[in-house]
């Protein structure tokens, strides 16, 4: 049976989480509703992440990796994963394991009808400041994009790969995935998933890249929406 889903795991200085990620992904692979494989994208980590990734991939045919020359950011890692995926569907989860790989099966249930399915983190286990800044940022983004998504920052998504590959590269991309699928006249769905506290590593987000940065990205999105080209071939001969 061929692989149907590639799960992208961006990694930046996550050595404390990779062994646990390996274990939890192995559990998911045994119960996955779509035959799945894992693609680590090492975003220029400066710790021991790369050697751990190579060790994992050397002993598991379902695990592969690519490594950036230097740190380029989460959006670049996600986009690189889209570019390298060769399955019908592509998924995304953060290496911090604040969402559960098993919950991909919840999203998979909706893939017959929708082109992007994203989780909504239930009962979030983050700090008050982090939750409030995320709530405000999501409200601002919805006002600009009208995508109707309550938690676009949830790091658990599944997208049709051909549509994911058409998404243009820009910083902040990961916050606008549902909106970019809507620009392609795709159908999107959100559904509750579990959320857990971070138990290892350090969050890469702060007030700037969680609130003020996304506000700037919204204006970039409006410009892109106005200029976006979308076509479908009616006949070929």
Tell whether 16 is covered by a domain. yes
Q: According to the model, what pLDDT value does residue 207 have?
A: 54
Residue 144 lies in a domain: yes
E-strand stretches of the chain: 5-11, 36-42, 63-67, 89-93, 116-121, 156-160, 188-193
Any domain includes 236 = no
Determine the pLDDT at residue 229: 73
Which range, of 29-43, 100-114, 195-209, averages the lowest pLDDT? 195-209
Beta-bridge partners for 11 = 42
Average pLDDT for 50-76 = 95
Q: Domain for residue 232, yes or no? A: no
CATH number at residue 217: 3.90.550.10
Can you give the residue range of the structural domain that contains 19? Answer: 5-227
**What backbone torsions phi and psi does residue 116 show, to the nearest 5 degrees?**
-140, 130
Query: What pLDDT shows up at residue 102?
Result: 96
Residue 31 falls within a domain, yes or no?
yes
Tokens, residue 148: 């109707």
Query: From CA 139, how far away is CA 32, in angstroms rounded?
Result: 33
Once rounded to an integer, what is the mean pLDDT over residues 37-65?
Answer: 96
- Does residue 234 belong to any structural domain of this protein? no
What is the domain count for the chain?
1
Q: What's the whole-number mean pLDDT along residues 34-55?
A: 97
Residues 6 or more apart in contact with residue 61 via CB below 8 angstroms: none
Average pLDDT over residues 99-128: 88
For range 164-192, the mean pLDDT? 89
DSSP line for 116-168? EEEEEESS--S-HHHHHHHHHHHHHHHHHH----S-TT-SEEEEEHHHHTTSP
Strand order of the β-sheet with 89-93 is 63-67, 36-42, 5-11, 89-93, 156-160, 116-121, 188-193
pLDDT band at 147 (very low <50, low <70, confident <90, very high): confident
Give the CA dihedral 63, 66, 72, 78, nearest 10 degrees. -50
Residue 77, domain member (yes or no): yes
Of residues 78 and 208, which shows the higher confidence score? 78
- Give domain status of residue 179, yes or no: yes
Q: What is the pLDDT of residues 156-172, one digit of tens each?
A: 999 999 999 998 877 87
């Amino acid at each position: 049976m061929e692989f149907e889903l590639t799960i992208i795991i961006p990694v930046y200085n996550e050595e404390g989480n990779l062994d646990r990620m390996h274990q939890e992904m192995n559990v998911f692979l045994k119960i996955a509703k779509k035959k799945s494989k894992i693609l680590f994208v090492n975003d220029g980590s400066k710790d021991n992440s790369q050697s751990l990734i190579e060790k994992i991939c050397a002993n598991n045919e379902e695990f592969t990796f690519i490594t950036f020359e230097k740190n380029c950011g989460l959006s670049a890692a996600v986009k690189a994963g889209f570019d390298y995926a060769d399955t019908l569907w592509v998924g995304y989860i953060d290496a911090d394991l604040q969402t559960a790989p098993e919950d991909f099966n919840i999203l998979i249930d909706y893939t017959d009808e929708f082109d992007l399915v994203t989780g909504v983190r239930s009962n979030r286990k983050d700090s008050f400041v982090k939750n409030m800044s995320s709530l405000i940022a999501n409200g601002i983004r919805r006002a600009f994009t009208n995508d109707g998504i309550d938690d676009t920052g949830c790091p658990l998504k599944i997208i049709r790969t051909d549509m994911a590959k058409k998404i243009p590269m820009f910083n902040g991309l990961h916050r606008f995935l549902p909106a970019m699928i809507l620009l392609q006249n795709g159908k999107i769905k959100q559904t509750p998933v579990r959320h857990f506290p971070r138990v290892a590593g350090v969050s890469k987000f702060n007030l700037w890249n969680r609130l003020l940065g996304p506000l700037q990205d919204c204006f970039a999105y409006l410009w892109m929406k106005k200029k976006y080209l979308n076509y479908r071939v009616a006949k070929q001969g």
